Structure 1
Amino acid sequence: MRRDQSELSALSRLFSATVFRELAKQGHSQLAGRLLSQSRLPQPMNSSLTLSDVLDQAFQALKVSGCRDEYVYRSALINKIVLGRHSLRTATVLNELRAGRCKVDAAVLNGTSTAYEIKSERDSLGRLADQVENYRNVFASVNILTSSVHLKHVLSTMPEDVGVMVLTDRYTLRTVRTPKNLPERTSPTTILESLRSNEAASVLGELGIRAPSVPNTQLREALREEFSMLDPIAAHGAMVSTLKRTRSQYDLSSFINRLPPSLRAAGLATKLNAQERARIIDTLNAPAATALHWS
């Protein structure tokens, strides 16, 4: 089915953080109801279809090349790499982590750190060089996940140590260039900017250095002085082990596995309490037709 721009926009917004939070906090979403009505998904809906089924159908429509937004790419990354090659029991995914002047789309921490910058066919490449420069100061490996539309430009302009992956028309991930793992390239003071103060103190502790004992108003400057003297490889390794502990998603494994594949990226990016997690699972398993009445 060929869809116009307004229908594609409605489909895309179904996977927004706003809709996901409303479903989790309220068990319904007026916005989701309106978007379902606008998106030309099967109506009247088969009584056997759950909301989860319909959202997966919406995502199938978004996966068509040329229509794919950042969320479609993020979903491929989460399902095919984070949950496909790794596990939340052994790896941690960080969304929107600060790296220098930028925030990384996603970073995976296992034995090392890998940053992923997403550039879909809808995105501009204007900021890419600056983003990559900042990521290389924090993460040992940097990967760009992009479209074939941007591939030639990305390959010709990005440093040789930066990996390049393409989301193909068949919704598979193809590695065009493998990233190099270079923790020695990182900057300890830039790493510090990505950490909370207690995490920075933990990094120092892992390296056998006592955290500064100064008033809170002076703490960040004192931490910066300590980090400026660290070996990059040591600082990076301690950062990885610290963040895997402080931001572990181990307890999310069961919840994420119960979500439909189309919502797993949203589930990992949204902080919910146990009650909200249970509520959204119940809502997703309810008949989809009821959602049309939310609007």
Structure 2
Amino acid sequence: MLKYKKSMEGIIMKDNTIAYSYPFNTKILSDIFENQYSSKLLKVFKEFDMLDSMHKDMTVKEFFENAYKKLLNNYRNEYVFKNAIAQKILIGRHSVKTSLLLTEFRVESSKADIVIFNGTSHAYEIKTELDNIERLEKQIKDYKKAFEYVNIVSVESKINEIVNLIDDTVGIIILTKQYTFKTIRKAKSGLKFLDKEALFNILRKNEYLKIIQKYYKATPDVPNTKINFACKSLFKQLSIEDIHREVLKTLKDRNSHKNLTNKIKEFPNSLKIAVLEANLSIEKQNTFLELLNQNINAIFKSKDSYVSPIF
């Protein structure tokens, strides 16, 4: 038995359900997006005897959709929660054209699982059934410095534990057994509590220089070693409303889903977050869409016997 199987022995489900989480691993998906194949995924298939159990005509798309259904029913890991937010909130409520979704977004010493920027800023911290909430208070404190609306997305069984740790400005959303979102408490605006220095620290040098130039018609005439401090001092003199608006605009300029505007609905629901995170070029989108319709057995059984380590 492989080490990675032993390390997860306590949570391996019936019929090796946990094996179906591996195809959604970032490294494996990156391989597939880049090369239309992954030796790491072949390793998973061989270890869990998955290829022989697949229908002979199964396509790549059908495989991912079926794997995702197994996760929904038996092993709702972080990927499932992230994908649900992408599918039901970004695409379902907002717009890929006018909104931006980022994952693992660093603020202070924490990383928000998902942030969405549209007309304002939203942070989503995920706590699955498998997660502990030891760091939740610190995480929420950091997020409130940079995002107008902060939400926790979790499961019913953790609600009481979560409510006891956070104040009533933080939203609480449950991912139900029916794969719908249920709002337990709506997030309140925390615009006036945003931290100017935390927002400044999100920006790159060229970005904060552009903002300083816009508002002061010049940038500080100081040595390069002092430019950060000088710009930060000027930045903090701006109103929090102006700062928040400029940071939103800057981040949306830095990152964009414009390549996906016309294509996102063509990708299977199981892969919405993966495609958004990868931010594929139009050419790679088209290549991947073609791959999704190919026979998965033909792709993986035709490869040689060499497989690399899974991770």
TM-score by length of structure 2 reads: 0.86
User: Segments of 4+ in structure 1 off by > 6 A?
Assistant: none
For 1:181, what is the secondary structure of its paired residue?
Answer: coil
Given that residues 45 and 51 in structure 2 are in contact (C-alpha distance below 8 angstroms), is that contact kept between their aligned partners in structure 1?
no
Task: Please name the residue that 1:11 is paired with.
Answer: 20
Alignment-derived partner of residue 188 in structure 1: 196
Match in the other structure for 2:31: 22
Distance 1:123 1:44, change over 3 A: closer
CA contact (8 A) 1:207 1:238 kept: no
- The DSSP-based 3-state class of the residue aligned with 2:262 is helix
Task: Quote the residue 2:142 is aligned against.
Answer: 134
Q: Which stretch of the first structure deviates more once superposed, 77-86 or 247-256? A: 247-256
Deviation at 1:37, TM superposition (A): 4.2
Output one character per residue of 1:8-36: Cα deviation in whole Å (capped at 9) or x when no partner: 33211110111111111111111122323
- Residue 24 of structure 2 aligns to a residue whose secondary structure is coil
RCO greater where, 1 or 2, for CA within 8 Å and sep 6 or more? 1
Larger Rg: 2
In the TM superposition, 1:1-295 aligns within 5 A as 4=13, 7-38=16-47, 43-64=52-73, 67-208=75-216, 210-293=218-301, 294=303
Q: Deviations over 1:93-121 (max 9, x none)?
A: 12222211111111111111011111111
How big is the shift at 1:184? Answer: 1.3
Runs of at least 5 residues in structure 2 that lack an aligned partner in the other structure: 1-11
- Distance change (3 Å), C-alpha of 1:244 and 1:49: same
Going from structure 1 to structure 2, the CA distance change for 1:289 and 1:193 (only over 3 Å counts) comes to same
Give 1:232 shift: 1.7
* RMSD between superposed Cα atoms in Å: 2.2
Could you tell me whether the CA contact under 8 Å between 2:259 and 2:282 is conserved in 1? no
The more displaced of 172-181 and 47-56 is 47-56
Q: Give me the whole-angstrom Cα distance separating, in 1, the residues matched to 2:99 and 2:213.
A: 22
Aligned residues: 292
Shift of 1:274: 4.0
Tell me the distance in 1 between the aligned counterparts of 2:276 and 2:228. Answer: 29
Distance 1:209 1:64 in 2: 57
Q: 5+ residue gaps in structure 1?
A: none
With over 3 angstroms needed to count, the CA separation of the structure-2 counterparts of 1:29 and 1:180, relative to structure 1, is same
Distance 1:114 1:205, change over 3 A: farther
Distance 1:213 1:284, change over 3 A: farther
Give distance in 1, aligned partners of 2:274 and 2:64: 12
Residue identity (%): 27
Q: Secondary structure at the match of 1:64?
A: helix
C-alpha separation between the residues in 1 aligned to 2:248 and 2:85?
A: 20
Query: 2:4 — aligned with what?
Result: none
Q: Taking structure 1 as the reference length, what is the TM-score of the superposition?
A: 0.90
